[in-house]
């Protein structure tokens, strides 16, 4: 354990006590189920926890990572050498104000879609098929079925770790793009407000059922995966290009391109993060060699890798 980690641990324990964990396994926190440990892990239950985490990072220079459902993350086999934060139950809530729904950053996006259904509010049905928290969905501008968070978000409250304070960011200032935002890297989305519209409950439910069924039918839900691995290039689909290149079903170590959906990588017991990243690179090379298109990864790589997809 480095001096920086020891100092950060001491700062955190002074406020958070035994809730601070060291050498904490990251694989169970990600949907790929691979990756090494976090140097320090804390499930934050309040703004005070986030404030002390920010102070520990600022005083020691350690990097900070925020994990939600872990569905868009690949952690290296060496793990993460800094502080990993996960929002706890104190950040899992939802409230309605007319056509607006507000929710804590730890609220699962599918659950928020369910809240909207109960109130007869339409516009976020697509969220039922996205395995993300509200905070993660805002940060990556999550989307499905032709809709995305940027279309419904009014504002997000972000905790600026290095400043120790909350800032409200309206959607127009979030810098949204395809599966990305320009929110500060050293910040945590602690809550968000979406603006929806009135709808017929049976029609909202039908759209949600359709999205669930589509996901069940087309995605390898029974196997560990991280969701879509590559962004769709303009005017095309990554899955089609991967299939066309003959990479569907291709394997490296314990990682394979899904036979059910070519833009998904699934892992078997004993798989390593290095297997996944090598497979991503191999698929990129194969598709580019055939089509001239270099697929851009959608999954976020965390930690040090010997090979990095370009």
Catalytic residue positions, numbered: 179, 228, 298
Inter-residue contact 260 to 218 (CB < 8 Å) = yes
Tell which residue, 25, 54, 92, 82, has the closest CA to residue 188: 54
Q: How many CB atoms are closer than 10 A to CB 139?
A: 27
SS3 helix, strand, coil % of the chain, rounded to 5?
Answer: 35, 25, 35
Q: Are strands 80-87 and 37-44 parallel, antiparallel or unpaired?
A: parallel
Inter-residue contact 193 to 112 (CB < 8 Å) = no
Tell which residue, 238, 245, 257, has the closest CA to residue 290: 245
- Look up residue 99 and give its two tokens: 């056509």
Q: Tell me the DSSP string of 13-62.
A: HHHHGGG-EEEEE-GGGSTT----EEEEEEEE-SHHHHHHHHHHHHHH--
Q: Are strands 73-75 and 300-302 parallel, antiparallel or unpaired?
A: parallel
């Amino acid at each position: 354990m480095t001096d920086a980690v020891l100092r950060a641990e001491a700062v955190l324990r002074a406020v958070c006590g035994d809730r601070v964990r060291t050498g904490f396994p990251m694989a169970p926190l990600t949907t790929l189920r691979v990756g090494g440990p976090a140097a320090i892990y804390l499930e934050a239950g309040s703004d005070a926890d986030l404030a002390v985490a920010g102070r520990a990072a600022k005083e020691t220079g350690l990097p900070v990572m925020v994990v939600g459902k872990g569905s868009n993350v690949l952690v290296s086999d060496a793990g993460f050498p800094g502080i990993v934060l996960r929002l706890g139950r104190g950040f899992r809530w939802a409230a309605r104000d007319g056509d607006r729904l507000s929710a804590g950053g730890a609220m699962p996006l599918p659950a928020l879609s369910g809240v909207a259904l109960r109130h007869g509010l339409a516009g976020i049905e697509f969220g039922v098929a996205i395995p993300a928290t509200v905070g993660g969905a805002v940060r990556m501008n999550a989307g499905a079925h032709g809709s995305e968070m940027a279309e419904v978000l009014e504002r997000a409250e972000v905790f600026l770790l290095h400043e120790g304070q909350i800032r409200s960011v309206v959607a127009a200032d979030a810098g949204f793009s395809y599966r990305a935002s320009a929110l500060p890297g050293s910040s945590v989305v602690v809550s968000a407000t979406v603006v929806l519209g009135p709808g017929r409950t049976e029609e909202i439910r039908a759209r949600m059922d359709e999205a669930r069924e589509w996901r069940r039918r087309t995605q390898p839900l029974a196997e560990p995966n991280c969701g879509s691995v590559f962004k769709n290039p303009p005017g095309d689909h990554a899955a089609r290009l991967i299939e066309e290149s003959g990479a569907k079903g291709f394997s490296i170590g314990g990682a394979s391109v899904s036979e059910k959906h070519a833009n998904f990588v699934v892992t078997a017991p004993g798989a390593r993060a290095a297997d996944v990243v090598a497979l991503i690179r191999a698929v990129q090379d194969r598709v580019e060699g055939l089509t001239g298109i270099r697929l851009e990864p959608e999954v976020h790589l965390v930690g040090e890798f010997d090979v990095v997809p370009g």
